[in-house]
Structure 1
Amino acid sequence: MLQSLIKVAIIVLSFKFVWMEMLSKCIGHRNVCTPRFKNESTNLTQKEFSEGNNLECCYNIMVRDLKIHFIQKGLFSKFVKLENLSLHNLPLEGEAIKNSLGKGLKLSYLSLENVGLNNTLFESLLPFLPKTLTLLDLKNNSLTYFSTNFISNTTVKTLDLSQNQNITMMLDKQALSLTHLDLSHSNFEWKTSQESKPVCKIPNLLVLNFAGNRLNLSTFDNRNDENCFWYLKSLNLSLSDLTEPIINESFSFFPNLTSLYLDGISNIEQFPSFQHTERLTKLSLNDVKCFVNPTLKNINIFKNLHKLRRLEMQNWELHLWDETELTVLFSPMIKTLEHLDLKSTGLSTIPLVIKEMDELTKLILTSNNISSWNSISENTNKNLTILFMEWNLIETVDPHSIPKRVVEFPLEGNPFLCTCELMPYKNWVKERKLSKIIKDWASKYQCSKPHQWEGKTLDMFRPKITDCQEFNAYVITAIVLCFLMVIIVIATNIYSRRRKQNILKKFQYTHDSSEKRKLLSSS
């Protein structure tokens, strides 16, 4: 019994030493391995990975943008620790990829982006796909058909079929593990198998990207047993060509939605009320092709979004909205908003309502007409760390108008007035040690006025301290008082001297008169 325990202990210790030795080899080693080619070889073999890589420590392999026409059979199965494999932009044959995978791989991430896959080639790969896959990226190939049956027995959570033109997505078998699906820019067609009792085939789907497609919103914006979008948390419809317009009741069947992207949407008949999507925390409305004027109805379009943390509204015509209308528009999210993007909205100043956004950490006001502001200051927006104000009409900046915690404050593209008024801003940047801004002064920041500085960089604008000496108010008061005292002393001295002279003259006159009288009386 004792001998058996000793043998077990020896085996355990031996295994531990072997494991520690293998682990020590990989410590500090690059776990991303890339091939190195000699001459202009078009063959990818183990030899190309041997130089500069420890093959036992290759957890990730990336091969991209190369003219490769042959891959060694079973090449990637030789990397025992390989978890992630990415082949991008390679003019390969599907047969070469299939042979290179081999058996026994335990990949969790497989990306075959733009490698010339078609339906036949991909289906020949299916038996070689590792059961351990959690991400399958087939972006930008020539696939026209994909079935959920292909991944029904895998653990694939993320599937990317974007940029495969005219692809049909067939929902014919349940894919229980699938949570992320990307069909963007694929002109896809959605089909389901004919069953007597419709069943949701992707019941755990959380993230869906339909961007850049032509689609009918009502086909999945409804509630039935066949639709699986009730549990969606993120939906991207940006740049989509909607066959039916968005109306007030749109997105009523996405109660769990937290992120919605509608960038570049043009077919909007009515702005959605978001009455049934109150969990939204992120809403992207950049460049919507719809004129949203400040009517009584429109200023309340966000009234149900009390949990919104991120809002993007690039290219809205907010310069047509007054302060009161903007306050009503943003008031529902005033206590929750953390990220606000108002780029290219025509604003001429920072809206007053923004100073009430205590949770705001990032504010983007790039490409507007802002020259000055009095809405925010060093005493407002105490969580704001990023403030983008490039390409406005700012000539000078008062550091007291910048919230205290701001550490990113790019201002390139503004027409700076290079006079002493600009020095407090430059000193503020140096005191905060904002090295990126200081570096950009030499190339991205230019003086616009006065004439002698026009076209020169802010880095070149370095006036002498004496040229821009700021006098203390107490010093000025003291100088004035001293000057007044000198004047008073001088005036007093002049008055005293004149008074003495007058007395002396009077005494002299009296004395002379007395002498004359004495002379006259004696005669």
Structure 2
Amino acid sequence: MFRNISGNHIRILIFRNNSIKTITSDAFVTLNHLERLQISVEMDLDISGISKSFNSLNKSLIDVLRFEGNDWNLLPTNIFDPLTGSNLSKISLNGNNLADVDTAVFRPFYRVKKVYCRRNKVVNIIIDEVGFRTVEHLDLTSNNIHSIPNFCNEEKSLAPRLRVLTLNDNALRFLEPISFKCLDRLEELLLDSNRFTSLGNNVFTYLTNLKRLTINTAHRLTRLSPSVFNSSSLEKLQFAQNGFIFDKCRHGVACKRYNVDTIFRFLPNLVDLDLTKNFLPDKIEFLLRMFSPLVKLHKLNLHSASLDKLPENLFQKMQHLEILILGGNKLAKWNQNTFANVTSLRALNLQGNKINIINKTSFPLNLLLSLEKLDLTSNPFWCTCDLMWFLDTIWKTNLSKTLINWPTRYACSYPNELKHRWLINYRPTIESCTPWDPTDTIIVFVFSGVLLVVVLVTIILKCQTNIRNALYLIHLHRYKRRTRLSDLPANYEFDAFIVYCDADRHWVHGELLKRLEDMNFKICVHYRDFEAGQPITSNIENFMNKSWKIIVVMSNNFAKSEWCQWELCLVQERRRRKGTNAMVLIMRQQIDSKHMTSPLRTLLYTTPYLTCKSGLGQTIFWKAVIQGIKKTYSDPPIAVS
């Protein structure tokens, strides 16, 4: 095949998707420098004849063979015999249809270290005494293996040099301690995406040199035995994306899923733990008991682990902790001692939580300045004076260089007028954030009030008769005017202004507003009548003053809304000036005691209100609402003596 290119220095040769049917026995005779040969996606190639072509390979130089995606169903046991004594170190059979693998096929290779057999249909692996004698790395990802292959011949290991075993994406359901017997040198074991439902005690005990263990994406796993992770040599454990539920254990009752006290007790040398996307306990006590044995951790990954609180005195015990990942949880705040004296920490990830405020109680300043990476991105920050300490620290130190994705991923979520503004553009000052001290003002008002009372008392004592006559004339004038005129001034634009919570908008728009406007009342609602471009507070005050009556629709949602409570203050002021007939109170939903505020309680105690009824009471309810809107203002009573 390559006779016409003699004298070449080709080191790598790849045949891929060429529809080759045969390869002659002298095909590679002129390729004296060939080190890597790849034959892939050659569906028509005769596997029985390819063996003869290996006679023409330079056995002293050939290092890597890759036969991938050729749709091979079976490997002849003598296929590699022509390569006996070669220096081959790596062979790949990925992407074929092999159902059985007999390691006798690898006997000719005295120095092979890596064997890859990914994406086949392997069910059985027959390991003889010679085939894997030099293999250090075995990858069997994405097959149909139901049980761990037998690596023992009585007490003798059939893979004495194996350091890395990958069994990801297979059909493994059970593990037993004997499963890994005779793998004394194994350092890495990868068991992701299998079908485990439970893991028993001491299953990894025979692996005395195990450094790394991964059991990820095991969605069927529901039980971990008390000493499942019993390994004095293990340094890195990845138990991520399993959705394992650690948080359903009741206080004082043994948990059937796992043992909170022993789950990590037997890992004295663990330095890296990944529990991403599991459900950790929601009780502080359980978190402390669970992680307390892990005093040598350098890295702890608890991303998306359903955490909403952090325990005190946990991270302080981890004196070597350098990387802590807490992103994707529900953390909003924590105790000021949580991160105190955690001097080893160099990277902290809190992105995607519910953090509104960072202040001097959140982190010790020396911790912030010692961090090399701090990720607080995608949190709903409140741009209020409470954030001033954090922003000042950023401006006065080099913290901006430590913050990941600063400033583009740090924005205000509250208040509405600052929503989506970058924190870097929010600049609170000491002057704007210094609370008003009312002491001096109170003293001035008290003194003025006392003086005013003295003056008024003096005037009243000297002019009693004149005052009594004047009050009588005023009362008489107002009485006559009420009998002639309507209280509705001509400058009111609306019959009523509706105060309600957005959560009740369906009933307000679909029922209340429709009925009143069908009765030819002119009603003011914010989403339709407010002036564009004006601040919402100005719009509310302006349109309340333009309305004859104020209708207040009360519910639990109303009681919880800060905006509704602010509008309620305006309603109270209207009531003080105009009397109880200035408003119509509608109890849409009975308010729970835990949502009842002091202003709302005062209003309900002093002002009649209507309760929304169904059935026969509905007609009476709507008549009462209409009468309340039409009713004239009542004047405060005046006594004339």
**TM-score normalised by length of structure 2:** 0.53
Displacement after TM superposition at 1:262 (Å): 2.4
User: CA-to-partner distance for each residue in 1:214-270, whole Å, 9 max, x for gaps?
Assistant: 23545x62289xx53344332222332248x42334334333333222224434544
Structure 2 distance, partners of 1:87, 1:182, is 19
Q: Of the candidates 357, 366, 370, which is equivalent to residue 327 of structure 2? A: 366
Amino acid at match of 2:115: L
- 1:171, CA displacement in angstroms? 1.0
Matched position secondary structure for 1:149 = helix
Query: 2:391 aligns to what?
Result: 423
| Equivalent of 1:437 in 397, 400, 405 | 405
The alpha carbon displacement at 1:309 in A equals 0.7
Pair 1:110–1:400, CA change in 2 (3 A): farther
Residues 184 and 211, structure 1, Cα contact 8 Å, conserved in 2: yes
**How much has 1:392 moved relative to structure 2?**
0.7
Distance 1:273 1:308 in 2: 15
Q: Conserved in 2, the CA contact under 8 Å of 1:108 and 1:134?
A: yes
Equivalent position SS for 1:333: coil
Does residue 165 of the first structure (1) align with residue 133 of the second (2)? no
Matches within 5 A, 1:282-431: 282-288=236-242, 290-292=244-246, 293-294=248-249, 297-322=259-284, 324-334=285-295, 336-352=296-312, 353-374=314-335, 380-398=341-359, 400=364, 402-418=367-383, 421=388, 423-424=391-392, 426-427=394-395
Residues 438-457 of structure 1: per-residue CA shift (max 9 Å, x gap): 4xx44x44432222332355
Distance 1:450 1:69, change over 3 A: farther
TM-score normalised to structure 1 length: 0.63
Q: Offset of 1:403 from its aligned partner?
A: 4.3
CA contact (8 A) 2:81 2:108 kept: no
State the distance in 1 between where 2:405 and 2:350 align.
13
* C-alpha distance in 2 between matches for 1:387 and 1:123: 56
Question: Do the aligned partners of residues 360 and 205 (structure 1) sit closer, same or farther apart at CA in structure 2, a change above 3 Å counting?
Answer: same
Alpha-carbon distance in structure 2 between the residues aligned to 1:279 and 1:370: 34
Q: Distance in 2 between matches of 1:77 and 1:109?
A: 18
How many equivalent residue pairs?
405
Q: Report SS of the residue matched to 1:427.
A: helix
**CA spacing shift, 1:200–1:300, aligned 2, 3 Å:** closer
On the 8 A contact 2:32/2:57 being kept in 1, the answer is no
Q: Secondary structure at the match of 1:383?
A: coil
Tell me whether 1:450 sits opposite 2:415 in the alignment: yes
Could you tell me how far apart the structure 1 residues matched to 2:286 and 2:43 are?
58
1:118-517 matched pairs, under 5 angstroms: 118-120=73-75, 124=79, 127=82, 131-154=86-109, 155-174=111-130, 175-188=132-145, 199-215=156-172, 217-218=174-175, 221-222=177-178, 227-242=181-196, 245-265=198-218, 266-274=220-228, 276-288=230-242, 290-292=244-246, 293-294=248-249, 297-322=259-284, 324-334=285-295, 336-352=296-312, 353-374=314-335, 380-398=341-359, 400=364, 402-418=367-383, 421=388, 423-424=391-392, 426-427=394-395, 433-434=401-402, 437-438=405-406, 441-442=407-408, 444-456=409-421, 461-463=424-426, 467-469=427-429
SS in structure 2 opposite 1:119? Answer: coil
The 1-side partners of 2:374 and 2:239 are apart by: 24
Q: What is the Cα deviation at residue 281 of structure 1?
A: 1.4
Structure 2: unaligned runs, 5 residues or longer: 438-641
Is the alpha carbon distance of 1:191 and 1:316 closer, same or farther for their aligned partners in structure 2, counting shifts above 3 Å? Answer: closer
The gaps in structure 1 that reach 5 residues or longer are 1-43, 48-54, 481-523
Is the contact made by 2:393 and 2:399 (CA closer than 8 Å) also made in structure 1?
no
Query: Counterparts of 1:359 and 1:374 in 2: how far apart (Å)?
Result: 22
Larger displacement relative to structure 2 (312-321 or 97-106):
97-106
Instruction: Compute the displacement of 1:142 (Å).
Output: 2.0
Identity of aligned residues (%): 21
The CA distance in 2 between the partners of 1:425 and 1:123, in whole Å, is 72
Once the 2 structures are TM-superposed, how far is the Cα of residue 331 of structure 1 from its aligned partner? 1.7
After TM superposition, give the deviation of residue 367 of structure 1 in Å.
Answer: 0.8
Q: Distance in 2 between matches of 1:151 and 1:165?
A: 19
CA RMSD across the alignment: 4.5
Aligned to 1:263, what secondary structure does the other structure show? Answer: coil
Task: Decide whether the 8 Å contact of 2:311 with 2:338 is kept in 1.
Answer: no
Amino acid at match of 2:401: K
- CA shift for structure 1 position 430: 5.5
Q: Any idea what the Cα deviations from partners look like across 1:347-381, whole Å, max 9, x if unmatched?
A: 12443202332211211112101123346788633
In structure 2, give the amino acid aligned to 1:234.
E
